[in-house]
Amino acid sequence: MAILDKFTLRDKVAIVTGAGKGIGAGIARTFAEAGADVVIGARTTADLECVAGEIEALGRRALVVPTDVLDFAQLQNLVDRAMAEFGRIDILVNNAGGFPPKPVAQTSAREFEAAFRFNVTTAFELSRICAPLMVASAGGGAILNISSIAGHKPTPCFAAYGTAKGALSYLTRELAQEFAPKVRVNAIAVGSTRTDALNTVLTPEIEQTMVDLTPMARLGEVEDIALGALYLCTPAASYVTGEILGVNGGMERLNMQMPRAWGGMG
């Protein structure tokens, strides 16, 4: 196999959650361009249909499965539909997740637990369902979790989100040990990436501060994350498992300035 052939996903089948917009949509498009058929899940059908059109324009098949990852029956349906349509699963990308920055004093225990469920438990459940099917249908596969630099660089107002992403990164390492050698499990520690979600809070002043605090002197783009995902899910990374790949512009701290509980900025 030629070197560049190791970076392709020709005739592979990937499931991507949160694929209607942003990073998930970018990963789905990139995987299709690399040769994969893609099963895309998210809550909004119209968004998924748009991404599916882009995948099909690249000459690959797209299966739209509206999915709320918090409903475990819908996760099972996502996998069942993938197997019924394609007969195999090679790749799973657990991208759906998130939680806004919020002071601890204003974060209820219910919200804290909800952040954990949204970011960690959903990824655990989908990985648990998919891994045996990857082995049975394709002889093995790759799981990728979209984590965050917030999972290992503490900062004010990120207790819920950062703790959840920290747990997701650790879950990645645990699953890698248990699923080896058949299924590789890795994660990406994403930094501030220009998506619709980030754009809702960006002002010119906030963006400039974030850029100033990023060693690479810019915000991340969806393509940056998608290319990291492509590497980790292709044969090029066949000896890589249990790793948390930083795609965050070299940040050693979060670049969002948030207030401490009793004065000062983080």
Kindly state which CATH superfamily the domain 3-244 is placed in: NAD(P)-binding Rossmann-like Domain (3.40.50.720)
Nearest to 65 by CA among 51, 46, 78: 78
Can you read off the two tokens belonging to residue 121? 């438990």
pLDDT number for residue 256: 75
Rounded to whole angstroms, the Cα distance separating 229 from 146 reads: 9
pLDDT number for residue 43: 97
Helices (H), 58-141: 72-86, 109-116, 122-138
Query: Could you state, in order of their start, the residue ranges of all structural domains in the chain?
Result: 3-244
Rounded to whole angstroms, the Cα distance separating 33 from 30 reads: 5
pLDDT number for residue 172: 98
pLDDT number for residue 104: 97
First to last CA, the chain: 49
Rounded to whole angstroms, the Cα distance separating 27 from 41 reads: 12
pLDDT number for residue 23: 97
pLDDT number for residue 264: 67
Can you read off the two tokens belonging to residue 247? 């795609």
Can you give the pTM of this predicted structure?
0.95
* Beta partners for residue 15, in sequence order: 39, 92
Rounded to whole angstroms, the Cα distance separating 241 from 247 reads: 16
pLDDT number for residue 192: 87
Element (H, E) at 53: helix 45-57
pLDDT number for residue 194: 85
Catalytic residue list: 161
Consecutive 10-residue runs of the chain (266 residues): their mean pLDDT? 94 98 98 98 98 98 98 98 98 96 96 98 98 98 97 93 98 98 98 81 85 92 97 98 96 81 74
